[in-house]
Amino acid sequence: MQKYKVIDAKLDTVEYPILIGENVIDQILDLIEKHTKNSKIIIVGDTFFQNGICASVENKLSDKFEIYSYYMDAGKGNKSINEVLKIFGILEENNLARDSVLIAVGGGVIGDLAGFVASTWLRGMNLIHIPTTLMAMVDSSVGGKVAINYRQTINAIGNYYHPMGNIMDLTFIDTLSHRDYLSGLAEVIKCAMINDKDFFEYLETNKDVVLKKDHDVLIELITKAITIKIDHVNGDLREGGKRLLLNYGHTLGHAIEISTEKNGHEQLRHGEGVSIGIVAVAYIATQYLNISKSIFERYENIFNNYGLPTKISASELGFDKETLLHKCFDNVKKDKKRLDNNIRLILSDEIGSAKVYNDVPFELIQEAFEYVIEE
């Protein structure tokens, strides 16, 4: 019997289904036909899936629709205006309209970029997300954030735009590398840390079953994380309040991610940056909020137990420690969530709870970087 669940995502004035489970991608035709009679579809996908799942999707739809496609390497360096312009060219040449459909098939880079294209073409065309990583399922494909990078600034040019549906097929999780699966789990753990102590304790004590990728467990984990995200996004589309809490660990984590790139290539997965970033802000909380040492240790230990990094070695990544510290501090000052000259940080004062702080001293941020970055 097919295992799946449908979440009815209600965000502000938008409502759309999120399908999670086995072979749910088969339901894409029904989803499209419920929303549009336009005959044109463009698939924007990761080249990794071009001859596999994307070919299958094209076959499912080709009897009823005109299919166009654009495939690209999903490296962060391609999350750029140049790729956006190439897709615009296809849309214009083939006269795709607002009620045409763009299907994004890939991880966070593809979803963010393709979503940005959909949000801006003719001021907004139909969008379907088919996220292919656990990270994209629980994070980037939910909540409406779409963006591209500009030079060294992550997600510098962006928008808020929701899809007409989100299809999360567990087949993709089955084929994920262990490292990429763990990267997505970092985001799941984060959701528990900021909102649900019981969920956190479940993740603490059920590592073995979580790592087995059992589909029943995955459906519940993904559902739980998405439900937490929707609760924080609803009513706060543009991050004026509780949505900011979802950035727990991200401000310092993003800075570490981009600072450790070599020749335009990432050395850390996003989830690895998040796990290190969370340990860094947990360290800050021990100094700034005087949280108990036991909470800090539980936060650090859960990542260690799941095989996620809590510290990095500068030399192993090809850097001098002082140089890397300087780069991280410079990049954190560019964070788009900054307020005037202050860095807004999310700190967890107890397990299952977090708050926004606007006045954490720069010296303490520097100290946190020094804690998580070793020689």
**Residue-wise DSSP of 104-165:** EEESHHHHHHHHHHHHHGGG--EEEEEE-SHHIIIIITSSSEEEEEETTEEEEEEEE---SE
pLDDT tens across 343-366, in order? 889 999 999 999 999 989 999 999
So where are the chain's domains?
4-175, 178-374
pLDDT in tens, 125-147: 999 999 999 999 999 999 999 99
Instruction: Calculate the CA 113 to chain-centre distance.
Output: 12
Confidence (pLDDT) at 338 = 56
For residue 336, what pLDDT is reported? 52
Looking at domain 178-374, its CATH class is mainly alpha
Q: With cut-offs at 50, 70 and 90, classify the pLDDT of residue 200.
A: very high
Cross-strand bridge partners of residue 55 = none
Cβ(368)–Cβ(328) below 8 Å: no
Please check whether residue 107 is in contact with residue 133, taking contact to mean a CB–CB distance below 8 angstroms. yes
Contacts of 7 (CB under 8 A, 6+ apart): 17, 18, 20, 223, 226, 227, 230
Give the whole-angstrom CA distance, residue 259 versus residue 328. 6
Tens digits of per-residue pLDDT, 266-320? 899 999 999 999 999 999 999 999 999 999 999 999 999 999 999 999 999 999 9
Helix (H, G, I), strand (E, B) or coil at 260: coil
Burial of 70 (0-12, 13-18, 19+ CB in 10 A): middle
pLDDT score at 340: 56
192 exposed, middle or buried (CB, 10 Å; 0-12, 13-18, 19+)? buried
Nearest to 110 by CA among 175, 20, 49: 49
pLDDT of residue 169: 96
Q: Give the pLDDT band of residue 154 (cuts 50, 70, 90).
A: confident
Is residue 214 over pLDDT 70?
yes
What architecture does CATH give domain 4-175? 3-Layer(aba) Sandwich (3.40)
Read off the pLDDT band of 335 (50, 70, 90).
Answer: low
Give the pTM: 0.94
Q: Tell me, yes or no, if the two domains 4-175 and 178-374 fold the same way.
A: no
- DSSP letter at 344 equals -
φ, ψ for residue 40, nearest 5 deg: -110, 135
Report, as an integer, the average pLDDT of 20-44: 95
pLDDT of amino acid 13: 82
pLDDT, residue 136, reads 98
In contact, 69 and 63? CB cutoff 8 Å: no
Which pLDDT does position 334 carry in this prediction? 74
Mean pLDDT value across residues 181-194: 98
The rounded percent of the chain whose pLDDT value lies above 70 is: 97
pLDDT band (50, 70, 90) for residue 1:
low
